[in-house]
Chains A and B, each alone.
Chain A
Amino acid sequence: MLPPLETLKSELEARVPGLTLTVEGTTLVIPREKLLDVCRWLKDAEPLACDYLADLTAVDYPPDPAGGAGRLDVVYHLYSMSKKHGPVTLKVPLPRANPVVASVTPIWRGAEFQEREAYDLFGVRFEGHPDLRRILLWDEFEGHPMRKDYVVEDQNVLG
């Protein structure tokens, strides 16, 4: 069984030096510099053994008119196949202008295509990814269509 979120939070903060987490609903929000350390610990720590990265995606929050800066979240859903528990949900907020985060592909191969998809549709750049190219759209495509401020050329024209 997974420990409660608060226990997991304090455990993580004790294990990874210099880490401060915030809890947002059911997710742990991690500063981007610490992502790899946290992921390695979650994968290797015996009682957790999150060996399975189920889902990786991004969520875009554009700056609001009230003056909020906006952010681009990368969301990870981790499970354990050996312990059969989960999920541990992680969120890494990134600045929209320069969304760069470390790639988790070296830890979980399953991230390879999913990170390429997030790069393709959201423009998140994953540092250390072995082959970061567009995956669904063609290479010459400009822009990242899943961003909330993406302007569709003409809604009435197909193709």
Chain B
Amino acid sequence: MISTPQTVETQLLEVNLGPQHPSTHGVFRMQVTLDGETIVKLKPVMGYLHRNHEQIGEGITYVASFPFTDRLDYFCAMSNNLGLALAIEQLGGIQVSERGEYLRVIMAELTRVLNHTAVTGFLLNDMGAFGTPLLYAFREREKILDLFEAASGSRMMCNYIRPGGVREDVPEGWLARARQLVDGYPQFLDEFETLLTKNEILRQRTQGVGVLSKALAINASVTGPLLRASGVDYDLRKVDGYSFYPRFKFRVPLGTVGDVYDRYYVRILEIRESLAILQQALKDIPGGPAISPKGLALVKAPRTFRPPKGEAYGRIEAPKGELGFYLVSDGTPQPYRYHIRAPSFVNLTILEDLCLGHKVADVIVILGSIDIVMGEVDR
């Protein structure tokens, strides 16, 4: 044992984590100041994927923005579509067809299942369990992507949900396939959990790491599973009751400590609740048109849609948190102002607070537990 003299001099070291690094989840950079292995300062640097999406949206019709929203959070294209559709419906007073609304709930919840599964896989990757858990997660994700492809023609860039309903009805036999997937999913989840939830290594790496207090979470506008893992009961599906969510029975899982482990476990529980919603929605879905007449007219002739002067803020509970679309109309076919409140962007505000005092290896895990997608952060 070598004893360290009390007067040893240390120097702070500045390191860039990213932007080209697999664990930064895209082109994201963290300017980190280290004291040995300990973080004393961390500044997020973003914008590498910035394409001024909002300005593009102000130059085209309302409906033409849908394919662009797919590229925001490219894991959850369906949720992004839904958010924009809600804002446009609010602005133009468009009713949604009954079947269309059901299909939207089904797509949004499948997206949540997909996102939370994949994120858990990525989180394990960040912890050093290379490959295996991620591939398990991706195997299941692939099945959902197959469903998306059958419905919309595209695996990830779905461009499917429209104001008033969905672009086109699902093909024959799709609902039966979806039911099959939903019925089989808990089995995979149980297997996944056997490997992870009580895993000693996972617990040691995540429990007590990156604790987010309830007060800071609320004050810093944190939303989504991150907020609920800190014990705040705020789920827009319950609070706003948009779409048909009030019709379904589901619970909102809450964490107690607010550490990385709670975030992991809240996501697993949320998958189970989403599956419960899917069971009910797939059972109750009625026949009829997949899009309302007014919505169909809008989709067929986007330039004729001139919402009255005014503004709307439509928000949904996307898998990553509150996704909001702020639209200002001046009575022309293009929005005068088109703003996106991206959940990952706002959730990054507290990254430094979570990381201070932790080691470099923990930063990677904490970032993984926040769940960011740069397409949405940079817009």
Which residues of A are at the interface with B, using a C-beta cutoff of 8 A? 25-27, 51-55, 57, 59-60, 75, 77, 81-82, 84, 87, 89, 108-114, 117, 121, 134-138, 145-146
Given that A54-B221, A57-B326, A75-B326 are contacting pairs, would A84 and B239 also be in contact in the complex, using a CB cutoff of 8 Å? yes
A136 interface neighbour in B46, B310, B339, B346, Cβ under 8 Å: B46
Interface: B341 (CB within 8 A)? yes
CB nearest to B330 among chain A residues: A61
Given A25-B311, A110-B349, 11 further pairs, Cβ under 8 A: A54-B322, A54-B341, A55-B326, A60-B337, A75-B326, A77-B324, A81-B234, A82-B218, A108-B221, A109-B349, A138-B47
Q: Cβ of A110 and Cβ of B219 under 8 Å apart?
A: yes
A59 interface neighbour in B234, B328, B349, Cβ under 8 Å: B328
Q: Cβ of B221 and Cβ of A110 under 8 Å apart?
A: yes
B55 contact set on A, CB distance < 8 A: 145-146
A55 contact set on B, CB distance < 8 A: 313, 324, 326, 339, 341
Chain B residues bordering chain A, tally (CB within 8 A) = 34
Interface: B150 (CB within 8 A)? no
Q: Cβ of B350 and Cβ of A109 under 8 Å apart?
A: yes
B310 interface neighbour in A25, A108, A110, Cβ under 8 Å: A25
Q: Cβ of B47 and Cβ of A137 under 8 Å apart?
A: yes
In the docked arrangement, what's the CA distance between A25 and B90, Å?
14
A26 contact set on B, CB distance < 8 A: 311
CB nearest to A159 among chain B residues: B51
B249 to chain A, nearest CB (A): 19
A135 interface neighbour in B46, B52, B310, B341, Cβ under 8 Å: B46
CB nearest to B324 among chain A residues: A55
In the docked arrangement, what's the CA distance between A82 and B217, Å?
12
Q: Cβ of B324 and Cβ of A136 under 8 Å apart?
A: no
B336 contact set on A, CB distance < 8 A: 59
B50 interface neighbour in A75, A110, A137, Cβ under 8 Å: A137
In the docked arrangement, what's the CA distance between A15 and B324, Å?
31
Closest 4 interchain pairs by CB? A110-B221, A109-B220, A136-B47, A55-B341
Given that A81-B232, A81-B234, A84-B234 are contacting pairs, would A89 and B313 also be in contact in the complex, using a CB cutoff of 8 Å? yes
Q: Cβ of A109 and Cβ of B216 under 8 Å apart?
A: yes
Interface: B149 (CB within 8 A)? no
Q: Cβ of A108 and Cβ of B324 under 8 Å apart?
A: no
In the docked arrangement, what's the CA distance between A109 and B215, Å?
11
A108 interface neighbour in B47, B50, B219, Cβ under 8 Å: B219
Interface: B222 (CB within 8 A)? yes
Near A by CB (< 8 A), chain B positions 194-243 give 216, 218-222, 232, 234, 239
B25 contact set on A, CB distance < 8 A: none
Interface: B245 (CB within 8 A)? no
1/0 per position for B158-188, CB-CB distance to A under 8 A? 0000000000000000000000000000000
CB nearest to A60 among chain B residues: B337
Q: Cβ of A54 and Cβ of B220 under 8 Å apart?
A: no
Q: Cβ of B234 and Cβ of A110 under 8 Å apart?
A: no
1/0 per position for B239-266, CB-CB distance to A under 8 A? 1000000000000000000000000000
B313 interface neighbour in A77, A82, A117, Cβ under 8 Å: A77
Near A by CB (< 8 A), chain B positions 314-367 give 315, 322, 324, 326, 328, 336-337, 339, 341, 345-346, 348-350
In the docked arrangement, what's the CA distance between A145 and B221, Å?
26
B34 to chain A, nearest CB (A): 20
CB nearest to B350 among chain A residues: A109
Given that A110-B349, A113-B346, A137-B50 are contacting pairs, would A51 and B324 also be in contact in the complex, using a CB cutoff of 8 Å? no
In the docked arrangement, what's the CA distance between A89 and B315, Å?
14
In the docked arrangement, what's the CA distance between A68 and B321, Å?
40
A121 contact set on B, CB distance < 8 A: 52, 54
In the docked arrangement, what's the CA distance between A136 and B46, Å?
6
In the docked arrangement, what's the CA distance between A110 and B324, Å?
14
Q: Cβ of B218 and Cβ of A51 under 8 Å apart?
A: yes
In the docked arrangement, what's the CA distance between A58 and B81, Å?
23
Q: Cβ of A52 and Cβ of B218 under 8 Å apart?
A: yes
Q: Cβ of A113 and Cβ of B345 under 8 Å apart?
A: yes
In the docked arrangement, what's the CA distance between A54 and B328, Å?
17
Given that A108-B221, A135-B47 are contacting pairs, would A54 and B216 also be in contact in the complex, using a CB cutoff of 8 Å? no
Interface: B378 (CB within 8 A)? yes
B341 contact set on A, CB distance < 8 A: 54-55, 57, 114
B29 contact set on A, CB distance < 8 A: none
Q: Cβ of A113 and Cβ of B47 under 8 Å apart?
A: no
In the docked arrangement, what's the CA distance between A69 and B234, Å?
42
A53 to chain B, nearest CB (A): 5
In the docked arrangement, what's the CA distance between A27 and B313, Å?
12
Q: Cβ of A145 and Cβ of B234 under 8 Å apart?
A: no
CB nearest to A43 among chain B residues: B219
In the docked arrangement, what's the CA distance between A100 and B285, Å?
52
A117 contact set on B, CB distance < 8 A: 345
